Amino acid sequence: MSDLLKLSLSEVTTKLKAREVSSVELATEALSAAKAAQPALNAFTAFDVDKTLAMAAASDAKLAAGEGGALEGAPLAIKDLFAVEGVSTTASSNILKGFEPTYESTVTKSLWNAGGVFLAKTSMDEFAMGSSNETANTGPVVNPWKGTTDGNLTPGGSSGGSASALAADLCFGSTGTDTGGSIRQPASFTGTVGVKGTYGRTSRWGVVAFASSLDHPGPFGKTVKDSAMLLQAMSGHDPKDSTSLPNAVPDFVAAVGKSVKGLRIGVPKEYRLDEMPEEIAKVWDQGVQWLKAAGCEIVDISLPHTKYALPAYYIVAPAEASSNLARYDGMRFGVRQDGEDLTSVYENTRAAGFGEEVQRRIMIGTYVLSAGYYDAYYLRAQKVRTRILQDFDNAYQKCDAILTPSAPSSAFGIGTKSDDPIEMYLNDVFTVTANLAGVPAMSVPAGLDSSGLPLGLQIITKALDEETMFSVGAAIEDAAGFNAKPEKWW
Amino acid sequence: MSDHTYRLTGETGDWEVVMGLEVHAQVVSKAKLFSGSATAFGGAPNTQVSLVDAAMPGMLPVINEEVVSQAVRTGLGMGSKINLYSRFDRKNYFYPDLPQGYQISQFEFPIVGEGELECEREDGSRFNVGIERLHLEQDAGKSIHDLDPNSTYVDLNRSGVALMEIVSKPYIRSPEEASAYVTKLRTLLRYLGTCGGDMEKGQLRADVNVSVCRPGDYEKFRDGGDDFSHLGTRCEIKNVNSLRFIRQASEYEARRQIEILEEGGKIDQETRLFDSVTGVTRSMRSKEEAHDYRYFPDPDLLPLELTEDFVDQIRSELPELPDAKRRRFVEDFGLSEYDAGVLVSDQSRAAYYEAVAAGRDPKLAANWVNNELFGRLNKESLGIGETPISADQLGKLVALISDKTISGKIAKDVFEILWTDGGDPARIVEDRGMKQVTDTGAIETVIDQLIADNPDQAAQVKEKPKTMGWFVGQVMKAMQGKANPQAVNEILRKKFEL
């Protein structure tokens, strides 16, 4: 692998514009590196070499003509939840095996319009349900980071393939979706930057739905600036998504590097969990010191309903999922299993098509929406959600951004948590609140733990204020000077 | 008990019927409720299906504003409360013609609240039916079971088409009233242009809820503020698609329930289907088998919030509605309630009538429209849109009668000519010499001649004045019907000194 693939998105697009490197050259290298890494990392679910090379050639033509968008010519990896026209789109599920959409998701279309080049589809937890990328129908994705640990680690999830691919320098940016932390937790586990904007900033049209009111498409970048460039391209009003924000998209890239002097940074006491590993507490404290040194004012804040967030999330998300996944009935697309009558066709198809975790969540969701249980579960969870939103509103009276750890641990070993769903669900403890409230949040790498594994810090800001998030994120990035890369073993 | 109470007599005494209807009306709109697909009837299977209608992965619904306007229009037409806040919910169940695995409907917060509809029985008496609510929802696709012995085919053209579900209160007391209610609702929807109302095309279908009770129970139910404990257990007959079937199905169902109760049984709350061939209802699913629809707010859609201005704008554009039009026809034109009712039962018929009556004798115009024109159209199975005689032509004909240019009898001949050959009534009368003779001199000459030729008949008239009619007939015959009948009678009476 040449050093070209190690460049950041902002660096490589500069080189592309300067015609120091061609998109076809980059794409060819990325494809070969990705394919070479596939047996070890298992990050990808589909390639379409012809499409990649055609898009790269088209980018080169534009660049030669002095045209092209902000991402022109840069190969990007796409989570398998996004519909890419003519390319296998399966949500890493057997039930969608062989499904090739005739349409392109709004977000990927926007990326292509900005000049992005399709590299590959990436693996994920089936239907984005998981925090380790172990539930994909194509098997676990492996984290390129090993640190000093033995055995393979998970890249986190659900967007584990996108995180792994980027951390291993197999692409220049990638997409994820964040429903409860599915971008930020893998970003934290892989030393990458992961962002979700305000709910509705990026369109959900053409993205296989998990939990509609919580799903946030967003990017992974190697740097804060890269992630800002990508979110910029992905954002915008989409009339095809009724929950898409009509607001104009600010200049996210301009916010990167902007002084954070005078910003008030909230540190929520409820996030300081009793069982939190010391190293997590340490990196959090370190982050606070960095921001203080950068001229920020540190404010103690309270988000009193935080402890109810995870239970509420694990009611609302499965409830919506149980309904969203009803369309996978074997009737119109995907895989059908025959049966002796209609009911058995449904049962056989869904039993064979959905993995264990997806089935578990469909059952939880069906249960909490059932007559007699709706008020006690779904309705109460929605009330919690309102309280969480109020918590944030109150907190933002006192601060401009909130700093927390991204995840309660560094990357864990494959198979170490997959037998205990509750422990797996706890991975989302710091991230779900931002999904329930719909506010922007990102994870920025802050350092390595004693095992040599990356740890991320999370920055949460007010709805529509991604700019402050990017400014604070860049300040952390600067202070941390994080430039570690996983040692190549794959 | 009013004169109209419908009673069925059983072995153990009299029974009464209580009914409530849920009418599904397909909204007139070029596009579906949440997708841009066409809604035209009769398209080849699966040709009017978008990615959204087929529920492809990642597809999202976007509300069609025109459909919202139509629902508000309908609500205003029923005098109902318009809810400025309403919300779409998902009704979850599995069926192959329901691609999403849920129907988007409005469960908790419908767009239209309570209202009332004044309906008319066949004898002209009126009754009111309370409207509980109107909500918007998606139609399902169509399962076709008879094309293949082993498979079911699905046509998704109808999938996602916008329906208004209009729910009545259980204030309907007989099969006849049920039919009258649907008739009135259909007329109103057609006036408003919000539903085509063609039951054969499935544009209007009814779920009919029927229960039976003893005389006096219904009054207790109403007096108790709709206290359902006084009513019997209801059964719902799904998807009844003609007025006749509504009557047949509800009558059959009432009798079935009475029979069970009189044998000491009890009614199970259940969903039933009406078999129009055998005329019976049969069980579709019991209460135990009823779906748990797991309603919850659709997270893909924002709540529907309307402004007062939006509603006011629609209110200001409402057409004159049937009840108001009937009152005007009675008050301004002096028509009978019956004639007015017949005319306003169909908007195009009323419009046709108004064009005929403009500047002319409105009663005479009503007679000609209702009796002559519609008699003839019905005989030939034609609709008002297919009439060979325009309102302008018929109006001119009525004017010719009013100004005595022709008699009513001649007018019928002119009507025939207009029907088959067309033309201008005045010109037809002129060209064919059909003008009425009012010249008393000419009539007198004919009468004198007739009296001279028929002395015996003339003598008889003096004794039996009623026989004068024979002379009237002879005069008309001699003058090819063109003599003014009044003038003929007058002169004859003078001659015979009657």
The string of pLDDT tens digits covering residues A55-66 is 999 999 999 999
For residue B288, pLDDT over 80 is answered with no
Burial degree of B30 (CB within 10 A; 0-12, 13-18, 19+): exposed
Q: Quick check: B302 and A242 CB within 8 A? A: yes
Q: Quick check: B58 and A102 CB within 8 A? A: no
Question: Confidence class of residue A309 from pLDDT cuts 50, 70 and 90?
Answer: very high
Nearest CB partner across the interface for B58, out of A209, A331, A332: A209
Q: pLDDT tens digits, residue range B314-370?
A: 999 999 999 999 999 999 999 999 999 999 999 999 999 999 999 999 999 999 999
Q: Which of B294, B301, B305 to mutate to test the interface with A (most CBs of A within 10 A)?
A: B294
Provide the pLDDT for residue A387. 98
- Round the average pLDDT of chain A to a whole number and report it: 96
Assess B90–A contact: CB distance below 8 Å, yes or no: yes
Q: Which of B50, B59, B151, B293 to mutate to test the interface with A (most CBs of A within 10 A)?
A: B59
Assess B288–A contact: CB distance below 8 Å, yes or no: no
Nearest CB partner across the interface for A327, out of B101, B299, B301: B101
Q: Which of B64, B296, B301 to mutate to test the interface with A (most CBs of A within 10 A)?
A: B296
Which residue out of A92, A158, A159, A471 is catalytically annotated? A158
The stretch A420-424 carries a mean pLDDT of 84
Q: pLDDT tens digits, residue range B161-175?
A: 999 999 999 999 999
For residue B1, pLDDT over 50 is answered with no
A261 given a catalytic annotation: no
Q: pLDDT tens digits, residue range A167-218?
A: 999 999 999 999 999 999 999 999 999 999 999 999 999 999 999 999 999 9
Domain residue ranges in chain B: 7-314, 320-431, 440-495
The stretch A120-132 carries a mean pLDDT of 97
Nearest CB partner across the interface for A332, out of B62, B99, B300: B99
A182 given a catalytic annotation: yes
Assess B60–A contact: CB distance below 8 Å, yes or no: yes
For residue A1, pLDDT over 70 is answered with no
All domains in chain A, ordered by first residue: 3-256 (3.90.1300.10)
Provide the pLDDT for residue B489. 85
Which residue out of A174, A182, A203, A406 is catalytically annotated? A182
What's the CA gap between A211 and A161, in Å, rounded? 20
Q: pLDDT tens digits, residue range B8-52?
A: 999 999 999 999 999 999 999 999 999 988 888 788 999 999 999
Provide the pLDDT for residue B488. 85
Chain B residues touching A371 at Cβ < 8 A:
292, 294
The stretch A399-422 carries a mean pLDDT of 94
User: Distance between the two ends of chain B, CA-based, in angstroms?
Assistant: 55
Class of domain B440-495: mainly alpha
Chain A residues touching B62 at Cβ < 8 A:
239-242
- ∠ CA A480-A483-A489, rounded to 5°: 140
Nearest CB partner across the interface for A327, out of B55, B63, B292: B55
Nearest CB partner across the interface for A326, out of B62, B63, B94: B94
Q: A84-98: string of b/e by CB count within 10 Å (b at 16+)?
A: bbebbbbbbbbbbee
Residue of B nearest to A81 (CA): B58
Q: Quick check: A320 and B299 CB within 8 A? A: yes
Q: pLDDT tens digits, residue range A78-100?
A: 999 999 999 999 999 999 999 99
Provide the pLDDT for residue A2. 66
Q: What percent of chain B has pLDDT over 90?
A: 77
For residue B301, pLDDT over 90 is answered with yes
Question: Confidence class of residue B2 from pLDDT cuts 50, 70 and 90?
Answer: low
Chain A residues touching B102 at Cβ < 8 A:
323, 326
The alpha carbon dihedral of A111, A116, A119, A122 has a sign of negative
The stretch A286-309 carries a mean pLDDT of 97
Q: What are the C-alpha distances in Å from B334 to residues B122, B323, B357?
A: 22, 16, 12
What's the CA gap between A152 and A141, in Å, rounded? 9
Provide the pLDDT for residue A191. 98
Q: Quick check: B58 and A327 CB within 8 A? A: no
Nearest CB partner across the interface for B58, out of A206, A329, A370: A206
Tally C-beta pairs within 8 A across A and B: 97
Q: Quick check: A208 and B58 CB within 8 A? A: yes
What's the CA gap between B421 and B389, in Å, rounded? 10
Chain B residues touching A95 at Cβ < 8 A:
none
As a residue count, chain B comes to: 498
For residue A392, pLDDT over 50 is answered with yes
Residue that is written with structure tokens 């409207």 in the block:
B131
Chain B residues touching A242 at Cβ < 8 A:
60-63, 300-302
Which residue out of A10, A23, A59, A79 is catalytically annotated? A79
Give Dmax over CA atoms of chain B in angstroms: 99
C-alpha distance from A350 to closest chain B C-alpha (Å): 12
- CB contact residues (below 8 A), chain B span 127-156, against chain A: 154
Nearest CB partner across the interface for B63, out of A242, A327, A346: A242
Interface list for chain A against chain B, based on CB atoms closer than 8 Å = 82-83, 89, 91, 96, 99, 101-103, 105, 204-209, 211-213, 239-243, 319-320, 322-323, 325-327, 329, 331-333, 342, 346, 366, 369-371, 374, 378
Chain B residues touching A320 at Cβ < 8 A:
296, 299
Assess contact for A414 and A152: CB atoms under 8 A: yes
For residue B289, pLDDT over 80 is answered with no
- Round the average pLDDT of chain B to a whole number and report it: 93
Provide the pLDDT for residue A424. 86
Residue of A nearest to B94 (CA): A326
Nearest CB partner across the interface for A378, out of B60, B92, B296: B296
What's the CA gap between A418 and A303, in Å, rounded? 30
C-alpha distance from B294 to closest chain A C-alpha (Å): 5
Nearest CB partner across the interface for A83, out of B58, B92, B102: B58
Chain A residues touching B56 at Cβ < 8 A:
101, 103, 332-333
Structure tokens at A94: 């057997």
Q: Quick check: A204 and B57 CB within 8 A? A: no
Q: Quick check: B294 and A243 CB within 8 A? A: no
Q: Which of B60, B88, B143, B287 to mutate to test the interface with A (most CBs of A within 10 A)?
A: B60
Chain A residues touching B294 at Cβ < 8 A:
322-323, 366, 369-371, 374
A158 given a catalytic annotation: yes
Chain A residues touching B54 at Cβ < 8 A:
332
